[in-house]
Structure 1
């Protein structure tokens, strides 16, 4: 994924807007099913964008109601971690860390995935690039003495020379994942305890240079990395490659997706001591004619019954889709070692002008009823000011889809446009998410949707 500079975005936006005006399109806001507000806009100090720019990854909400996120641009030019605090009804952004603060960018470059938090308030995440070996890093940010300090937990591509057998390029939204690191208990909303193993994926490296699932272990404050599985270990890469999202269940199982066409859903099952892991491919997409079952899965979650729900970035049978690879689908999967049951819940771009959204973004949230919340990169409002690039926040309840908000109904997309990741949901049902572009200052935004 190329994150445009502010100048590039503004230039391309003006071309789109001019084209829309020539075509005689009306710029009317769609009717809304929920209350939308932009709670911060990035780059108020353009061109410095000191707090960050183009936020692509999802958000983290702590127990005090603070939001945390990452931006791949801004800061000193190499991305940031930021915080949003609510006081007196107003959200205030602040910079926690600007990357490439260490010599040679050993602390990492361009974070683009969601963070996790432990019980002491420390933050954990990954960067896809930078680090001592250039293969990205896993990091911890700690509020020490009022200043956030970064510690590199592991620098990838430390083994195997150029083959990077320990993995390279931890997954992010540009590689169809919104999960940086995860842990046992994350699926049920428990905070990380700070000492248990962390799990993640890399999209390259490993024994076959097709990506890995890895484990980070803390022993007395020293972290070590272990590859649990290297993909493309089977003929014709039947086990998939370029892994993305992970869900760690309570039964010593990890569920995940691979994003290389056509894509898979897999399960890694461990013994009781977590010393041996075995991979089973639960489902391979494009098993239906013309990939009607979806292709390239980019989101995955698990409900209270153990059923998996997710989105596929392409494929599907949206009747108004004009993209050769399809406009994506929402799906459910009942996992079984043999014959997992996959069901398409909704095909995006089924409405005229893709008013229902197109190309679902990585990251979904579930409510207690099992309803799915996501954002789409494109579509949402065929009258949007930016042409077809605006995107939407959507809800899928059963097999019914509803657009909660369609982006960019006004000039210059001052509320934001083109979300690259799905929203998170709080206990009251409010949704919080990011847009990578647009906003009052052109550097993207953070939004809230209240039901």
Structure 2
């Protein structure tokens, strides 16, 4: 076991000391070197001051960042160094905080015991808001530790010391239920490594699976991932049937297992062909195609140009499937083509552009490493060459993956180079599509206002990566969240509020909002009517006061949450119109709300009551024509109004208490055409009654309808000559021109105003037989008179001539 540990430590030391490679060994291609001028700019954010080997003294800031940075929910980057610090000898590394603005802070120096030593892998932030990590040495049993760093208090805590061998190089992953999962290379009951969990709610360590150096391999070195199928995927650096290193340890195995430690399945034996990769030391990242991507340290193409007979390493993928996962080599790194080789810690980074970003510590034009990108199909691109002569940056030998920020820039650390040749923290201005965004609907608001937060994560496909939690500096944004969504939050205090969404434990999107303070106000109703007629507008008087001065702004009257009136607040007083037109006749509760402004907070009054009573509308009634000819139609027209919107309802018309018709209002009016045939001539009182509606009371109006008798025409037919003493036979006809019906009644025959005789009409006609005895001989004019009846007017005929002769 000691021999194996020495091999692993020698590999790590070789990795971290890559800055000592001679320039001649890199076979620099001038054409590749000049290509650096076309690459995105790189910024040396911070250069470590301590010497890696601590040859004389080590600066407190440490030296050599061999793990990936993570961006925490407080907006700062966190990482660790494998050496340096303030505790010596021999300087066991530090935890550090790097602000995006450039300020570097050493937050903990490792002292071997009891806190551990040498952090090789990256930190992560769990859903409880604390940072967690592992050391590969030190602690109570000298085998490494699990530790916590509290972001809020700044307190470092050693949680657990590995007892059976330890040596963990695995970044922890969170299941969102309080469990962190990782691996060790030497722990477990067989001392071949194990998979463990740490429950940060109960502070409980659980050994989930113990490797036995059989089909499962030995010495898991890389991190693990909880894939989309819910299983853990990882690798054993050693084990398997082939052994390209000649050490007898095997080339490594890829495997998967259920999260409870059951159902272990070996997926691939590395080194299964001459060109296959082997010695897997990186973890997995799941891409949009569902495949898990990682790299091997060795295998693939020849790397003898850097004195390595083990090969340059490969990019490969595992297609997860609970029953039969599959393996496929995607790309073999090529030193002779100026590519980076032998990638080390962490895992490939899946960018917001869908590409896989792989950091190689060696290779590239200058031999000091390269940042490469790959499509999932294996298309290679050179993103940045480290340590190229003549290039702006002096960063060299990056040992771990990059981290994409919200602006699409890539952050990382190196173990060599920088201003002090002890490694640095760098930022590559890549400008790729952001993988995470968190946006606020406004950057400035008042303390009592809400802000809409909208977020999206485009590179999270594994269960591990999809674990997102929210946090904010005021506690208003918190809890587990989906990878995309939107919510409205109200800040809990004034000041600058930082909102964050952290996914997969290491990538974070941020949004900052400046919240202006507001002063407390009190709103009181000082005057209000208890009743209002529907359609009328009343006035509500309210006072708005604050200990901080005279209040201005706007106040509203609310009924059931609906604004029925608003007015400006002047000198702390608002006179608000209370409009009833949008309500119904009923009893209501209402409040006055002061809306607030940038200086004063909003407030609401107590509840008051008001009753809206029905309005009594005005009814106008007209009859056309004013005098009705009996038998001809008449029109009754009514308009009903309350001075506001047109009313609804029905108008009923009645004569002598008997309803003769009902008509619904239309635009406030109703008309009824009446047949007068059933009525006799005379004067009648007609009543128009509006029945009311929900908001208007009933009302009525009367008019007198005058029905005139029908006009008649009387005609007379008599003989022109009669003998004195003989009877006169006169035929009289009475008609109603252009009117229906036949007159009835009596007609008379007149001579000089004297009635000679009369008769009753039958079907409008009558024959009058009168004596002529009283009429002297001569010529005379006779006429007929119709005396009329209840419906028909009297009329006279024209005079008719008659001559009376002697016997």
TM-score by length of 2: 0.45
> Contact 2:303/2:312 (CA < 8 Å) preserved in 1?
no
Picking from 35, 38, 45, the partner of 2:44 is 38
Q: Is 2:115 aligned against 1:107?
A: yes
Correspondence for 1:188: none
* Count of residues paired in the alignment: 394
Structure richer in helix, relative to its length: 1
Alpha-carbon displacement from aligned partner over 1:303-329 (angstroms, at most 9, x marks no partner): 234311111111113598773221111
Correspondence for 1:365: 349
Alpha-carbon displacement from aligned partner over 1:64-90 (angstroms, at most 9, x marks no partner): 542110101111211111011123xxx
Give the alignment of 1:20-419 within 5 angstroms.
28-31=33-36, 32-43=38-49, 47-76=57-86, 77-87=91-101, 91-100=102-111, 105-119=113-127, 121-143=129-151, 145=153, 148-157=154-163, 164=164, 168-171=166-169, 179-184=170-175, 196-219=178-201, 222-232=202-212, 237-243=214-220, 244-249=222-227, 251-260=229-238, 261-270=250-259, 274=260, 277-287=262-272, 289-290=273-274, 292-299=275-282, 300-317=284-301, 323-336=308-321, 340-349=325-334, 351-352=336-337, 355-362=338-345, 363-368=347-352, 370-381=354-365, 384=366, 388=367, 390-397=368-375, 398-410=377-389, 415-419=394-398
Q: Which runs of 5+ in 1 are unaligned?
A: 158-163, 172-178, 185-192
Alpha-carbon displacement from aligned partner over 1:252-281 (angstroms, at most 9, x marks no partner): 4111111113112211114xxx4x522111
> Contact 2:413/2:423 (CA < 8 Å) preserved in 1?
yes
| 1:48 CA displacement | 3.0
Alpha-carbon displacement from aligned partner over 1:222-257 (angstroms, at most 9, x marks no partner): 412111111125xxx221111122002354411111
| 1:416 CA displacement | 2.0
**Secondary structure of 2:297 counterpart:** strand
**Secondary structure of 1:30 counterpart:** helix
Q: Which runs of 5+ in 2 are unaligned?
A: 1-8, 239-249, 431-807
**Secondary structure of 2:121 counterpart:** coil
Alpha-carbon displacement from aligned partner over 1:163-207 (angstroms, at most 9, x marks no partner): x1xx51112xxxxxxx321112xxxxxxxx6x6111111001322
Structure richer in strand, relative to its length: 2
**Secondary structure of 2:173 counterpart:** coil
- Cα 1:206–1:331 shift into 2, 3 Å: same
> Contact 2:227/2:320 (CA < 8 Å) preserved in 1?
no
- Cα 1:28–1:324 shift into 2, 3 Å: closer
Q: Is 2:403 aligned against 1:424?
A: yes
**Secondary structure of 2:397 counterpart:** coil
> Contact 1:413/1:439 (CA < 8 Å) preserved in 2?
no
Return the alpha-carbon distance in structure 1 between the equivalents of residues 17 and 116 of structure 2.
Answer: 25
> Contact 1:379/1:392 (CA < 8 Å) preserved in 2?
yes
> Contact 1:374/1:394 (CA < 8 Å) preserved in 2?
yes
Alpha-carbon displacement from aligned partner over 1:326-382 (angstroms, at most 9, x marks no partner): 111111221235653322222111643xx111112222111355421111121111x
- Cα 1:262–1:370 shift into 2, 3 Å: farther
Alpha-carbon displacement from aligned partner over 1:141-170 (angstroms, at most 9, x marks no partner): 11455xx2211111101xxxxxx1xx5111
| 1:415 CA displacement | 2.0
TM-score by length of 1: 0.79
Correspondence for 1:176: none
> Contact 1:309/1:333 (CA < 8 Å) preserved in 2?
yes
- Cα 1:427–1:438 shift into 2, 3 Å: same
Measured on the aligned residues, the alpha-carbon RMSD in Å equals 3.1
**Secondary structure of 1:245 counterpart:** coil
Return the alpha-carbon distance in structure 1 between the equivalents of residues 128 and 323 of structure 2.
Answer: 42
